[in-house]
Amino acid sequence: MSAHQHAPRLRRVGVPSAAALVVVAGALTVSAAPAAQARLAGPAPAAEKLPAYGTLWISSPSDQSILEFSPPGSNRFPNPIATIEGADTTLNGVSGMAMDHQGRLWVANQSANSIVVFAANANGDAKPVVTISGADTHLNSPVDVALTQKGNIWAVNTGDNSLVEYAAGSHGDAKPLRRIAGSNTLLAKLTGVAVSPDGKRVWVSETRIIKDGPSLDEYSGSAHGNVKPIAVITGSKTGLDQPNGVVVGVAGTDPIAVNAATDEKSAVVRFAPGAHGNAKGTVVSGENTGLEESQLPGLDAVGNIWVPNPENSEVVRFGPTQHGNVAPQKLFLGTDLNNPGSLAVFIVPPSAPRAMHAKATSKKLHLTWSAPKVKGGGILGYEVRDRKKGGHWKVVKTTAKPSYTKSHPHTGFSYDVIAFNEAGYSTASSSLKVKV
């Protein structure tokens, strides 16, 4: 099923405007109100066509360009379907990238001290649709950018070793919501940033040398000022060696770093949720991997990690469970690929849950359903809703499992269910009216 059949959406129909429960990695947490979530994550403008699910954008810093490739298939030597380059793009020192749910491409424009955003259908000498730049932004050689589910923007600066966060919808000379900088932060020689979908955790990769070596530092998403990290992953067991980028896995709590060291020291290093200190990482490394001087990685919807290797102008992909000295699942060689430096992948919300079924008695209601056909990555959870005849839908349960049980159900209520993942919320399943 094409991703275009289910337009990305983060609005919940009939959900109260207060906070709503969301499952992230199996735990119930509180997300921002739907109105805030929708500011950047609503449907793409009518004039734009959403990219296909799994579309890749790969930067070529040496050419000051960004190449778009169709979702990988059997063709290992594809031609780009679009190339963003030229004076109007304002690209200058193109570095880390991220995709939002409108299919727009966010780029850390390092040498221009800016963040630029390109429309989903951008091609050629395209002007950015958004530019964040100016003295009030505190952007200082930004090398990477990451987005929360509700559209907040995090950037990491190498010029002053800082982290900055902007509100969804920011543009121009926007002041950051928060800035993390100072001696207590331990930030130095920053290379990448990743943020959990709910915005509550932020990870930074660093090549600084402290007594235990390079590190991944974790900060609270609400941190501000000269604050200490809440966790530091560093030490001989970690497998970290010149980490040159970080992403967060589909669980939303598991950081994955990429080493930029040469030869057999280049590696993909995955950590379990909650890792800290001298934690042992799961490492992909060795001569069979094709990793060499690896740069800023990208993660697709099912947890595969894509790694650019500028030394040989190629991109390799590893599955979420691969480890050791293994060959990549796919060797992606773009015809026009030249010294790739970073990568972003377009993912989408799930399609509607299927085959909803109810068993009801006067004492108990039990609902079950099947997972969506299009998962867009791991399903984080489901929202079960009910309504009276003529009333509004309301969420009665958020669950990680495809089932819901209620004692003493009320007759005449209708029920449906919505699935969600890192990209957003599905359309609702077919509804069922329950009579007991």
CA 181 to chain centroid, in Å, comes to 24
Query: Which of 39-48, 161-170, 226-235 is the least confident region?
Result: 39-48
Residue 66 forms part of a structural domain:
yes
Last residue of a domain, one of 313, 345, 377: 345
3-state secondary structure of 187: coil
CATH number of the domain enclosing 300: 2.120.10.30
Query: Which of 165-179, 187-201, 289-303, 422-436 is the least confident region?
Result: 422-436
pLDDT in tens, 291-334: 888 899 998 877 889 999 887 788 889 988 999 999 987 777 66
Say if residue 411 is exposed, middle or buried (CB neighbours under 10 Å; 0-12, 13-18, 19+): exposed
Does 317 lie in the same domain as 281?
A: yes
Last residue of a domain, one of 329, 345, 361: 345
Residue 137 forms part of a structural domain:
yes
3-state secondary structure of 207: coil
Alpha carbon distance 151, 156 (integer Å): 16
Judged against a pLDDT cut of 50, whether residue 185 lies above it is answered with yes
Count of positions (residues) in the chain? 436
Residue in the structure block whose two tokens are 């489901």: 382
- Per-residue confidence (pLDDT) for residue 10, from 0 to 100: 37
Vertex 315: Cα angle to 312 and 321 (nearest 5): 130
Cα-based torsion angle of the residue sequence 427, 430, 435, 436 in order, rounded to the nearest 10 degrees: -70
Residue 50 forms part of a structural domain:
no
Say if residue 335 is exposed, middle or buried (CB neighbours under 10 Å; 0-12, 13-18, 19+): exposed
Pairing of strands 267-270, 190-195: unpaired
* Total number of domains constituting the chain: 2
Does 168 lie in the same domain as 147?
A: yes
Residue percentage of the chain with pLDDT more than 70: 84
Does 247 lie in the same domain as 152?
A: yes
Does 402 lie in the same domain as 373?
A: yes
Judged against a pLDDT cut of 90, whether residue 261 lies above it is answered with no
Averaged pLDDT, 189-218: 86
358 vs 107, more confident: 107
Does 141 lie in the same domain as 228?
A: yes
Alpha carbon distance 86, 270 (integer Å): 37
Structure tokens at 97: 């990238």
Does 395 lie in the same domain as 367?
A: yes
Does 394 lie in the same domain as 305?
A: no
CB 256 within 8 A of CB 299: yes
CA distances from 48 to 51, 55, 131, 169 (A): 9, 15, 19, 18
Range picked from 37-46, 121-130, 365-374 for highest mean pLDDT: 121-130
- Per-residue confidence (pLDDT) for residue 18, from 0 to 100: 27
CB 129 within 8 A of CB 138: no
Residue 291 forms part of a structural domain:
yes
pLDDT in tens, 343-386: 999 887 788 899 999 998 888 999 999 999 877 667 889 999 99
Residue 125 forms part of a structural domain:
yes
Does 293 lie in the same domain as 326?
A: yes
Average pLDDT, the chain: 83
pLDDT in tens, 53-103: 788 999 999 899 999 988 876 556 678 899 999 999 999 999 999 998 888
Does 132 lie in the same domain as 25?
A: no
Cα-based torsion angle of the residue sequence 21, 22, 25, 26 in order, rounded to the nearest 10 degrees: 50
Structure tokens at 262: 């040469």
Residue 135 forms part of a structural domain:
yes
Does 276 lie in the same domain as 170?
A: yes
Q: If we measure between CA atoms, which residue out of 177, 149, 174, 173 comes closest to residue 163?
A: 177
Does 243 lie in the same domain as 158?
A: yes
Does 227 lie in the same domain as 109?
A: yes
Assign 8 a pLDDT band (cuts: 50, 70, 90). very low
Domain of residue 261, residue span: 56-345
CATH number of the domain enclosing 385: 2.60.40.10
- Per-residue confidence (pLDDT) for residue 1, from 0 to 100: 30
Alpha carbon distance 174, 62 (integer Å): 29
Alpha carbon distance 303, 300 (integer Å): 6
Residue 388 forms part of a structural domain:
yes
Alpha carbon distance 378, 421 (integer Å): 7
Residue 98 forms part of a structural domain:
yes
Last residue of a domain, one of 345, 366, 395: 345
Q: If we measure between CA atoms, which residue out of 52, 27, 45, 41 comes closest to residue 374?
A: 52
Judged against a pLDDT cut of 70, whether residue 40 lies above it is answered with no
CB 365 within 8 A of CB 119: no
